[in-house]
Structure 1
Amino acid sequence: MDLNSARGIGRRRLVAWGGLAAAGAAAGLPLASAGTARAASPPTGPSRRGEIPPDTLPGGAYDRYVAKLAAEGKFSGRVLLSHRGRTVLSRSYGMADQQKGIRNQEGTAFTLSSAGKPFFAVAMLQLAQQGKLRLTDTVGTHLTGFAEDIADRVNIHHLLSGTSGLDAPDEDVERVFQSRDEVHEYYEQRARKAKLVGVPGTPNTAHAEPEVTISALIVEAVAGMPYWDYVQENIFDRCGMTGSGFYTRPQWLADGHLAHPYMKVADGSVVDALRNLDKGSPNPYVLGKNPGRAFIDAPGDGGFATAPDLARFAHALGDGTVLDRPWADVLTAPKIPHGPASFGAYGIPISIVNGQWMYQRAGGNPGVGANWSIYPYTGWVGVILTNRDSDGGSLVDIMGQEMKAITGAEPDPGSGG
């Protein structure tokens, strides 16, 4: 499920991500405000001078906030703050696998849901950088079997920017998948049933699922390998993300470094979703869903990552490891205006927060919450990973407190942040 937030971005372009030495709740819920946007002003506050804001330190306001949530049973997972490639704060709480007595720790990998969608955008731009595709290529340039209006009118830029005008049949959330091939076939056929319901190039607020799947299919057609393998080889391995991958359900059950999703069910209890595939979420935004039913994440979506690995990915975006710097600028340049200081980029919401850039991607499912944020002007990276539904302490609340600690921007009280 997409937990995108498009917060904002100003007229200032990021010249180089070398300064990095190195959202939302369920769809329809509001995000914390990005604060006052001052596009023409340089970042202010201690981190502007290379100092560390006190609220980000161990024992600081952000650390105390998350610890309190965990003590009240409202947070299970991991938070990390990194400044110019050095870890400032790193905490783990709760259980990765309660039945086996395995606690969340630094090396625990969490399923990302939509927080993994930017991988397909990076993959596309890698292939564009190599001259193997163009952003103006239509769907029909690389794939066959799609409706003529989609094949001829929807191009890669539309897919990456969320402006394709596509819609698809509802997902069968009750289906329990049994193999990688079954997952691939189902989502490919669902994408092929997509209909063009809007005008390509028209702004939208979030990615339609066919855009994600079709992008992954194009990666496969151009690269000549499954999407999951392409991302493993060309993103995870190149970034040194040794704890990350597209793991299958049997691996999820057997591997102690993979956090299980603890999902609230109709009677108010919380169950291990992976061991209770017959149960689904009563949350109206994800009604009936259970992330354990997927044998592997759909092409273009999800994946698992540890918090340090996501920090490595953030740093690698800025140092040329996965994209040459001009192509990294293409990834994050503003494409679609979503608000006074919020824009959509390629798979990543971007915004201005107290005069500095913030790139962010969130995702969630029952028992799952993930968010990573990059502040390239000041060299900060924040990661939040959670594996438990709870009353209070939502992902968006924690995101707002992280942003406040780094930038000084106050979350919008109306959002609950």
Structure 2
Amino acid sequence: MDPDTARGIDRRRLITWGGVAAAGVVAAGGPLVGAGTGHADPARTDRIPPETRPGGAYDRYVARLAAEGRFSGVVLLSHRGRTVLSRSYGMADREKGVRHHEGVAFNLSSGSQPFLSVAVLQLVQQGRMTLADRVGTHLTGLAREIAEQVTVHHLLTGTSGLDAPMPDWQRVFHSREEVHDHHEQWVRQATLVGVPGAGSNGHLPGGGVGLAMAAQIVEAVSGVTFWDYVHEHVFGRAGMKGSAFYTRDQWLTDGHLAHPYMLQAGGSLVDAVRNLDKGSIDPHTLGRNPGRGFIGYASGDGFATAPDLVRFAKALYDGTLLDKPHADLFAGAKLPGPAPTAYDAYTMPVSIVNGQWVIGRGGGGGGVGANWSIYPDTGWVGVVLSNHDGVPLLDICLREAEAVTGGPVAPPGGGGGG
């Protein structure tokens, strides 16, 4: 999408950082309050807005996009754990003839980063580490200034001041061990180029190295790999049976995993996982192909189904994943975000939209578009998962927010909804 010149906000960043939650408008509420807890107005939380229902404005909008060939994937709206709207359009695997359905798991790209934050906060809650710990408390082989100045809090807020060599997006990985070794080496190539805590370093080419560092701290404290920890203590506890950090081999053989379809010159779409030599022509993805990575890690490429993301939200509310103080800490605003009522929390944005908080995360890459949004004041969860380039993800998210909050939500800088 084009940059938003009116406010200087990159619409692409709003997609990959968190859709509605990064685009915020208006004010009131509080993180992880409501959702049937008695802290919100019952008349507001009990109401099912007509535009969220089957046949409502949101349903009609997504159906129109699908009919025009502009959406392939799944959308879901849930209120207090009960599905209000669930739609699936298009193909999860064109070669095998697998159509989308609720049980299909999609690559979330950077939309899986909050699972890392939950993992860290679980260990904090258990007293096994603190957010104020210097990274050198847990990791060896780092530059002295990094080990002594950068904290876990800095890593999760993207304010570590770290940079590292730009990842080689053309490299094809072939095993979990190769991916793990690569990230261990990458973390130890990090350099301190800013003052820790002074501001976001997410714009730096290797600014994501801080997330890999945080994942390795999870490994050092827990004694297991990041993948195994998240599978057992996040996905397992939350009952997210269709979600995982799947390998490329599983992507090719498991019928419930959506294949990403990347746009090529001339308008054709190719299966990313079956064409590792090709990349998307979308300039924002730098020719990236998510299949090359073999398996995701801290910065992204975990998989989830739409119902599993609803289960994740419920597990945050009911204490399954974190107790209430640490769940509030997970979702609480830490820094100003890219819009007047948007803020940065741990590895995700939070925002105030039509008088209620929205937390969530978006992700985008070659053939991948994902966004999950939690509306804790009123108990709603919205999920948008797609598997081909060209989907107007931000506009879908804004329409979702309008349906849920019952009021207009203007895109950053104004404009229409695709």
TM-score, normalised to structure 1, is 0.90
The aligned residue for residue 409 of structure 2 is 410
Using a 3 Å threshold, how does the CA distance of structure 1 residues 185 and 303 change in structure 2: closer, same or farther? same
Deviations 1:275-297 (A, max 9, x none): 11111122221122111111101
- Give the secondary-structure state (helix, strand or coil) at the position aligned to 2:408: coil
The aligned residue for residue 179 of structure 2 is 183
- Give the secondary-structure state (helix, strand or coil) at the position aligned to 2:17: coil
Q: Which amino acid aligns with 2:94?
A: Q
The aligned residue for residue 344 of structure 2 is 344
Contact 1:401/1:411, CA 8 A, preserved across alignment: no
Is 1:401 the counterpart of 2:399? The answer is yes
- Give the secondary-structure state (helix, strand or coil) at the position aligned to 1:274: coil
Deviations 1:75-121 (A, max 9, x none): 00000000011100001011010001000111000011110000110
Whole-angstrom distance in 1 between the partners of 2:199 and 2:348: 15
Contact 2:262/2:367, CA 8 A, preserved across alignment: yes
Deviation at 1:265, TM superposition (A): 1.5
Q: Which amino acid aligns with 1:364?
A: G
1:63 to 59, 63, 85: 59
Q: Which runs of 5+ in 2 are unaligned?
A: 1-11
1:95 to 91, 94, 100: 91
TM-score, normalised to structure 2, is 0.90
Contact 2:32/2:376, CA 8 A, preserved across alignment: no
Contact 2:27/2:353, CA 8 A, preserved across alignment: no
What does 1:265-284 align with in structure 2 at a 5 Å threshold?
Answer: 265-284=264-283
Deviation at 1:221, TM superposition (A): 0.4
Is 1:130 the counterpart of 2:129? The answer is no
Using a 3 Å threshold, how does the CA distance of structure 1 residues 188 and 91 change in structure 2: closer, same or farther? same
Deviations 1:151-200 (A, max 9, x none): 11000010111111111211101111100011111122122211111110
Using a 3 Å threshold, how does the CA distance of structure 1 residues 235 and 17 change in structure 2: closer, same or farther? farther
Identity %: 59
Q: Which amino acid aligns with 1:398?
A: I
Using a 3 Å threshold, how does the CA distance of structure 1 residues 20 and 289 change in structure 2: closer, same or farther? farther
State the Cα RMSD in Å. 2.1
The aligned residue for residue 386 of structure 1 is 386
What does 1:281-296 align with in structure 2 at a 5 Å threshold?
Answer: 281-296=280-295
Contact 2:160/2:201, CA 8 A, preserved across alignment: no
- Give the secondary-structure state (helix, strand or coil) at the position aligned to 2:262: strand
Using a 3 Å threshold, how does the CA distance of structure 1 residues 215 and 56 change in structure 2: closer, same or farther? same
The aligned residue for residue 72 of structure 1 is 68
Whole-angstrom distance in 1 between the partners of 2:201 and 2:398: 20
Contact 2:290/2:301, CA 8 A, preserved across alignment: no
Is 1:234 the counterpart of 2:230? The answer is no
Whole-angstrom distance in 1 between the partners of 2:109 and 2:252: 18
How many residues matched?
394
The aligned residue for residue 36 of structure 2 is 19
Whole-angstrom distance in 2 between the partners of 1:47 and 1:411: 25
Q: Which runs of 5+ in 1 are unaligned?
A: 22-41
What does 1:324-335 align with in structure 2 at a 5 Å threshold?
Answer: 324-335=323-334
Deviations 1:329-378 (A, max 9, x none): 11111111124311111112001111111102000111001100011111
Whole-angstrom distance in 2 between the partners of 1:203 and 1:10: 24
- Give the secondary-structure state (helix, strand or coil) at the position aligned to 2:185: helix
